[in-house]
Copies of this chain bind each other. A is one copy, B any other.
Amino acid sequence: MIVVMQRDSTQAHLEGVKGRIEGHGLKAQVSEGVERTVVGVLGQTYRELKDELELLPGVSEVVLISKPYKLSSREFKPEDTIVKVGDISIGGDEVVVMAGPCAVESEKQMLTTAWEVKKAGAHILRGGAFKPRSSPYSFRGMGVQGLQLLAKAREETGLPVITEVMSTEDVGMVAQYADILQIGSRNAQNFNLLDAVGKVRKPVMVKRGFAASYEEWLLAAEYVLSGGNSQVILCERGIRTFETATRFTLDLAAIPMIKNLSHLPIISDPSHSTGKTNLVPPMVLASVAAGAHGLIVEVHPDPATAMCDGAQALTFEIFNQTMGQLNDVAAALGRGRVKVAV
């Protein structure tokens, strides 16, 4: 922590700052620059101290130099975390693909989709049983019945399933059915929910809040990690910007950036970010080229009649083609895919 003094601050101001710092058992180291005096704070600092020091007379600003997240940082754990789901490893060289409909709608829809995405090479089945919807009047998911259909699809196809949990009360139940719990973008700062999934012993995928900085996103992961659950996957799903022609703006630089800052696996969601079916295949390929550990893609037997987000769902045919291209790009970069016997 560095305290930058105002240009016209006095010696008394400086003494006040030093006194405050030392009063907390920390050391103050003063540097007199040409333009300004700065005071380094040595010792175990904490975020609230910034506010306290910034309010002292003569202080211009306080600059934090430590990151507020620890367990999720690469400095804390230099080697990559690999999250295991059965035989599947998320976080290594191979590109892991999660695919399926936005919402679980019926047994037939889920089973058909599960078999088709498996045939195309997907490793994990996605499907929402609890759906966060902007409007209370939209379809909000089948609930526990949806979870049962996901479990049935897993039983039949062998594909592990990922599904969203929206509420602390539902965590136990969802964890019974799901192989990976998903925290959605709208709950990325629902701290009680993050606490709750921190106590579960199943992998958790933390989607980036659509207005979350990298730091806030890693702090969301920190909630889960500090709760005792080390199996965390991050998912870039687009951020809100001034551009409204796409649903969100997929921030692919987040992929290499997060890989620098953190040891956690990171995957990409080209479906929710773009919101447009024709933009999904190129963004799948770009995500792999950017180094994503995996993808989560919406696929539906008949996008036009989907009960949720049909405009961004791929047909089986397009998904299959896209998987072929994904394989080619992954191979060109020396990355294979997880081999799954079909």
Contact across chains for B190 and A213 when beta carbons are under 8 A apart: no
Least CB distance from A312 to B in Å reads 8
Check if A216 is an interface residue, CB within 8 A of chain B.
Answer: yes
The contact of A240 among B68, B138, B242, by CB within 8 Å, is: B242
Residues 262-291 of chain A: 1 if any B CB is under 8 Å from the residue's CB, otherwise 0? 000000000001101111001101111111
Q: Given A43-B34, A243-B251, A252-B286, A51 and B309 touching (CB < 8 A)?
A: yes
Contact between B239 and A242 (Cβ–Cβ < 8 Å)?
yes
Residues of B within 8 A of A168 (CB): 167-169
| Size range of the chain A interface in the assembly | 35 or more
With contact pairs A33-B40, A40-B33, A253-B250 given, residues A138 and B289 touching in the complex (Cβ less than 8 Å): no
Q: List the one stretch of A81-89, A91-99, A127-135, A173-181 in contact with chain B.
A: A127-135
Q: In chain B, what residue has the closest Cβ to A132? A: B191
Chain B neighbourhood of A75, CB < 8 A: 6-8
Cross-chain contact B250 with A279 (CB below 8 angstroms): no
A42 at the interface (CB under 8 A from B): yes
Which of B167, B255, B304, B331 is the one whose CB lies under 8 Å from A56?
A: B304
Selected from B54, B244, B257, B325, the residue in CB contact (under 8 A) with A333 is B325
* A11 at the B interface (CB under 8 A): no
Assess whether A106 is interfacial by the CB under 8 Å rule: no
Task: Kindly report which residue of chain B lies nearest to residue A169, judged by CB atoms.
Answer: B168
Do A211 and B211 touch across chains, with their CB atoms under 8 A apart?
Answer: yes
Q: Is the CB of B214 within 8 A of A211?
A: no
Residues from chain B with a CB closer than 8 A to the CB of A288 are 289
A278 to B251, Cβ gap below 8 A?
no
Contacting pair A134 B211 (CB below 8 A): no
Check: A145 CB closer than 8 A to any chain B CB. Answer: no
With most chain B CB atoms within 10 A of its CB, the pick from A195, A215, A227, A311 is: A311
Q: Is the CB of A55 within 8 A of B277?
A: yes
Complex Cα spacing A66 to B38, Å: 11
The 24 listed contacts between A and B (C-beta, < 8 Å) are A2-B38, A6-B75, A31-B40, A33-B42, A36-B66, A46-B137, A48-B139, A51-B309, A133-B191, A136-B195, A136-B222, A136-B223, A136-B226, A140-B191, A187-B190, A190-B190, A213-B244, A213-B245, A214-B243, A246-B257, A249-B249, A252-B252, A325-B333, A332-B332
Other contacts beyond A55-B303, A253-B273, A253-B279: 14, CB < 8 A: A2-B63, A7-B75, A38-B40, A52-B304, A52-B310, A54-B311, A55-B277, A55-B310, A136-B195, A190-B190, A210-B211, A244-B244, A250-B251, A325-B333
